[in-house]
Amino acid sequence: MIIWWRGAGPLVFCSVVFYAIVMNIVTGKLFHNDSYSQEQGWPFPVALILSGTTCWFLGQYLHGRGEKVLIDKATGKEVKIKPVHDLFSIKIEYWGLVLIVVGGILLLKPLLG
């Protein structure tokens, strides 16, 4: 499988892994059980929601930093260069929405039966 990205796209993976590890550590310390996050169903969906929120704001920030306007010397025309940060051709902020929705579904799944 080929993983392709542009710009800061890999930060989506990094964010998910980071929050999963943080939730594992925090729940382990909080509940005095190192395997709590594996035994319970809620820590990973919460990690996905936190990761999605981070990706949403990070994507908004990175894509909102503006475009550069360059002037072609040969033609004198302006060329606009916009920042692109995506993973599998999906912008980081949209990955944020996907992660929030998936985390919400996983979190609500036991309640919905």
End-to-end CA distance of the chain: 34
pLDDT band at 1 (very low <50, low <70, confident <90, very high): low
Token pair listed for 71: 């002037």
The residue length of the chain stands at 113
Instruction: Please compute Rg for the chain using Cα positions.
Output: 19
User: What one-character-per-residue DSSP string does 82-104 give?
Assistant: ----EETTEEHHHHHHHHHHHHH
The C-alpha atoms of residue 22 and residue 24 are separated, in whole angstroms, by 5
The per-residue pLDDT for 113 is: 67
pLDDT band at 81 (very low <50, low <70, confident <90, very high): confident
Could you read off the pLDDT of 48-80 as tens digits, one per residue?
Answer: 999 999 999 999 999 888 788 888 888 888 888
* Domain range annotation of the chain: 9-85+92-112
Q: Which stretch, 14-23, 37-46, 76-85, has highest mean pLDDT?
A: 14-23
Pick the closest to residue 52 from 93, 85, 2 (CA basis). 93
**What is the pTM assigned to this prediction?**
0.84
